[in-house]
Amino acid sequence: LDVIRGVEPRVADAIGQEVEDQRASLKLIASENYASPAVLLAMGNWFSDKYAEGTIGRRFYAGCRNVDTVESLAAEHAKELFGARHAYVQPHSGIDANLVAFWAVLAARVEAPALQRAGARQVNDLSEKDWAELRRELGNQRMLGMSLDAGGHLTHGFRPNISGKMFDQRSYGTDPATGLLDYDALRATAREFKPLIIVAGYSAYPRLVNFRIMREIADEVGATLMVDMAHFAGLVAGKVLTGDFDPVPHAQIVTTTTHKSLRGPRGGMVLCDDSLVEQVDRGCPMVLGGPLPHVMAAKAVALAEARQPSFQDYAQRIVDNSRALADGLMRRGATLVTGGTDNHLNLIDVATSYGLTGRQAESALLDSGVVTNRNAIPQDPNGAWYTSGIRIGTPALTTRGLGTGEMDEIAALIDRVLTSAEAGTTSKGAPSKAQHVLDEKVADEVSRRAAELLDGFPLYPGIDLS
């Protein structure tokens, strides 16, 4: 940090403070983790200075042999780890990986037939008339994705994201009575809507998805099945999700982030079967610019870590901890969406359980050293901004070594804060969905206990960033 401090001390201070904050708080954000020092060091180096547009061995820049090495290693580790036919490790983020996947499917299923009809080898060979027709056709495609309030992600065809502007989108959701995915309703919608792509995968669904059934539905209506496993990639890598619950053998294309339960650097990745290799590899220049070789190096290290047997133990402990947290919360009276969990996350219905909005609960917990995020629940009466839910996940605290005993105590701390917190008022005294009131004594007591708990599980021991 001294080198950075010599140039811009405020950045050095912010980095040091960030580590201290992460060390001192109970990090329960389901999409976060702690990457290992090996992953972090692989990311912070001179690869950052290199341009390497193209693919392995076929670059638009000279001097890329070391980039070829790390990109090949990352792709090989990914293929071995997930049993995939092909891996493309250039996407800079989950959104980028999804964009690459959408355009790969569009290229294979809309563009390629149009080129064939016109007798053209590539789009540059099309006449103006054929090109105009292809562009119209590309803009006329349909996607079926999981609804946002059931736990889907914005990139699965929703209007604020480019996917919602590219595709005519329809959603599938969960059964209002059980909160579980309703495959029959999904099948009926797919038959009627006939999408080009069915997207499976989620950001906030606490149960498993049966990808064998999803593929059957996709095949029946002629859709390509794409699975976005960003949230649960670590559970697939760690062989906790196998058979019908492992997306790789079932979907034609699978995308993921590398920084969530997979515990790698911030980034994305695409896996695919033989039918889409050529199109996926055109991610750059289709939607990506130059790859981030330093991040690909870190992906290779993280994927090598995930291939070690200890990662399977880690993945199992994530789920054990998640279940312990669910049991601890429900025993204390909390209502969980779907009544529990089968994966790394839980969704607490804080409106029903504690009379709070998600926003109020999130702030009250933050005051008490517990970092979570608010999340919509199915048919959320408070909408997507204030919400009625709190999403909690266990990948990060499991990395730190906390186990089921600690989870029960964390459930007690969360319950204590949310039972004590009350809805606040605006400055004019009107009821507010944003403000909360929490006795300072409760916040201090919970923060102190959280810090004591974490003291037993040091983060990056021996690394001094003061």
Residue 209 or 454 having the CB closest to ligand PLP = 209
Q: Could you tell me the smallest distance in angstroms from the CB atom of residue 231 to ligand PLP?
A: 5
How much helix, strand and coil, in percent to the nearest 5, is found in the chain? Answer: 50, 15, 35
Q: Measured between alpha carbons, how far is residue 190 from residues 185, 202, 245 in Å? A: 9, 18, 20
Distance CA 359, CA 392 (A): 14
| Catalytic residue flag (residue 51) | yes
Residues 59, 215, 260, 391: which is the catalytic one? 260
Element (H, E) at 420: helix 404-420
Q: Any bridge partners for residue 146, and if so which? A: 172
Distance CA 228, CA 99 (A): 11
77 is in an annotated binding site: no
Residue 268 or 328 having the CB closest to ligand PLP = 268
| Catalytic residue flag (residue 419) | no
Q: Could you tell me the smallest distance in angstroms from the CB atom of residue 93 to ligand PLP?
A: 3
Distance CA 372, CA 144 (A): 29
383 is in an annotated binding site: no
Q: Would you state the structure tokens that stand for residue 69, as one six-digit string?
A: 């090495």
148 is in an annotated binding site: yes
| Catalytic residue flag (residue 282) | no
154 is in an annotated binding site: yes
Residues 257, 341, 372, 387: which is the catalytic one? 257
Q: Measured between alpha carbons, how far is residue 454 from residues 12, 23, 189, 301, 458 in Å? A: 24, 8, 47, 27, 7
Q: Could you tell me the smallest distance in angstroms from the CB atom of residue 148 to ligand PLP?
A: 11
| Catalytic residue flag (residue 314) | no
| Catalytic residue flag (residue 260) | yes
Residue 95 or 365 having the CB closest to ligand PLP = 95
Q: Could you tell me the smallest distance in angstroms from the CB atom of residue 151 to ligand PLP?
A: 9
Q: Which residue is nearest to ligand PLP (CB)?
A: 94
Residues 5, 50, 51, 170: which is the catalytic one? 51
Query: Which residues have C-beta within 8 Å of that of residue 197, sequence separation ≥ 6?
Result: 102, 105, 141, 142, 143, 144, 167, 223, 224, 225, 226
Residue 376 or 411 having the CB closest to ligand PLP = 376
Residue type, 332: R
Instruction: In the chain, count H helices and then E strands.
Output: 21, 16
Question: How many Cβ atoms are within 10 Å of 452's Cβ, its own excluded?
Answer: 9
Q: Could you tell me the smallest distance in angstroms from the CB atom of residue 294 to ligand PLP?
A: 16
By the criterion CB under 6 A, which residues form the site for ligand PLP?
Answer: 31, 93-95, 153, 155, 201, 203, 228, 230-231, 257, 268
Pairing of strands 58-59, 345-349: unpaired
Residue 203 or 338 having the CB closest to ligand PLP = 203
Q: Could you tell me the smallest distance in angstroms from the CB atom of residue 153 to ligand PLP?
A: 4
Q: Would you state the structure tokens that stand for residue 391, as one six-digit string?
A: 């999403």
| Catalytic residue flag (residue 242) | no
Residue 31 or 388 having the CB closest to ligand PLP = 31
Residues 5, 187, 239, 266: which is the catalytic one? 266
Residues annotated as binding site? 148, 152-154
Active site residues: 51, 53, 228, 257, 260, 266
Residues annotated as binding site for (6S)-5,6,7,8-tetrahydrofolate? 148, 152-154
